[in-house]
Structure 1
Amino acid sequence: MFVRDFVLLSLTFLLCLFTSRGEELWREDVTGRMNIGVTASGFDQIRLDCGSNNFQVVVETLADFRGVIYTRGSFYSRKAPCFLDANGGRRFRLKIPYDQCNVEDDGEKFQVTLILQHDKELIMPGDGAFALQCDLSAKDSKSFKVSAVSSISLADPDPSGKDVPTHLKSTVSAPNVVVFKPSDIRPRKSPQRIEL
C-alpha cells in the first residue's frame, strides 16, 4: 500500500512540475517576443466620410481579407454595425453611428478606434488600428455652412489601448472626406543626399 501511494504521489508531483514548466516555457517563448503595436501593413487605404449621424468608412486591403473589422470594445458582442466578419474580398464598408460602438462624444467631435484584425479570434502583430475622428463644429467661412473635418491616425491595436506617441500617429485630416494610405505614415525616410 505504501509503495502504491508513493508512486501515485511521485507521478502527481512530476505531472505538476512538467505542467508548470510548460506554462513557463510558453510564456518565455511568446510573451517576450510578441509585441502588438502600431503597424503599417495589411491595408491599401482607409477612407472616412463624416456623415451627419455616422462615420462612413471604406477599408481596402492589399490581399483577400478573411478576418474581422470592429470598433475597440465591440469584439465580444460581434454585432453590426460595430463589427464586420469578413469572409473574403478586398473592400469593406461600415457605417458606424455616433451614438453606438463605443464612440467617444465630445459635443460635436466624435472619435472611435477601428481595428483591422487578420485572424478571427486572436489579435496579432501586423494587425492594424486607426483612430477615426469627425469634427462637426467647423463652419465654412464663406457660406457659414457646417462642414465636417475628417481625421484618421494610426492607433495601437492592443486591447489595452495604449496611446501612440505623437511622432508615430501620422494624422491625415481633410474637409468632409479623408483617405489614409501607408504612404502617409511617418516617420518617412528622408531623401538621400547625393554629394557632388
Structure 2
Amino acid sequence: MKATIITQIFFVFVLKSYADDIFEADLGEEFKIGLTEKGYKSVKLKCGANHMTLTIETDEDFTGVIYTRGSFYDKNYPCFLNAAKSENRRNFTMKFNLRECNTKKKKDRYLNTLVLQHDHELIMPGDTAFNLECDFKKFRETTDTLVFVEKYVTSRIGLTNADPAVKSENILPMVDTNTNTATLTPDFYKKYKDEL
C-alpha cells in the first residue's frame, strides 16, 4: 500500500512538471500582447476646455469593454463602457472631465490611455490601446479688431501597448493636427510597420 501511494505521488509530480512545461511552451513568445493597429477603423479625440470626448469606430462588431487605464476594476461610467450592452456594436462615444478617469496632468498637458479589450476579464493579444493627450500650452494670435494672443488646446492620439505592465521601448508618433480634434486610423501607422 505504501508503494502504491509513493507511485501515485511520483506520477502526480511527473504529470504536473510535464503540464507546467507545456503551459510555458504554449504561452511563451506566442502570447505577446504588443502593439496592434487592428480592431478599429478610427478613434477620434476631441479636447474641450475641461473634458475629453472620444468617438470610437471598430471594424467589426465589438462586444468587449472600453475603458481608461486604471478604471477597469471600478467599472464606473463615464470611464468604463461595456460594449455588449450597447445598441450599436461598432460606434461608441465616451466623454469625461479632465479630472476624471485617471487623467494625469503634466504642466499644461492632460494625459490618459484608452483600452479596447475584447475579453471582459483579461487583456489578450489583439487588444488595442491609445495614448490620449490634450495640450493647453500652445498659443496663437487671433485678429479681429484687435490683435491678441490666446491659449488654446491641441489634441494628440497614438497607439500604445494594451498591457499596462509593458513599458514601451519605442515611442511611436502620434496624430497631431494642431487643432482640438485628432483622428487616428490604422493607415497612419503603415509607414511604421516594423515598429509594431
TM-score range (shorter-chain normalised) is 0.7 to 0.9
5+ residue gaps in structure 1?
190-196
Residues 56-115 of structure 1: per-residue CA shift (max 9 Å, x gap) = 101110111101111122222222222111115111111132222221111321011111
Match of 2:162 in 1: 157
Question: What is the Cα deviation at residue 170 of structure 1?
Answer: 3.1
138 and 177 in structure 1: CA distance in 2 versus 1, 3 angstrom threshold = same
Q: Per the alignment, in what secondary structure is the counterpart of residue 41 of structure 1? A: coil
Q: Which moved more, 1:135-144 or 1:176-185?
A: 135-144
TM-score (norm 1): 0.86
TM-score (norm 2): 0.86
Match of 1:193 in 2: none
Q: C-alpha distance in 1, partners of 2:99/2:13?
A: 50
Higher relative strand content:
2
- Verify the 8 A CA contact 1:156 1:164 in the aligned structure 2: no
Match of 2:180 among 176, 185, 196: 176
- Aligned amino acid, residue 150 of structure 1: S
Q: C-alpha distance in 1, partners of 2:156/2:25?
A: 39
Match of 1:194 in 2: none
Question: What is the Cα deviation at residue 188 of structure 1?
Answer: 5.3
Q: Which moved more, 1:41-50 or 1:135-144?
A: 135-144
Tell me if 1:47 matches 2:44: yes
Note the 1:123-138 alignment, pairs <5 A.
Answer: 123-138=123-138
- Verify the 8 A CA contact 1:117 1:127 in the aligned structure 2: yes
Tell me if 1:10 matches 2:7: yes
Aligned-residue CA RMSD in angstroms?
1.7
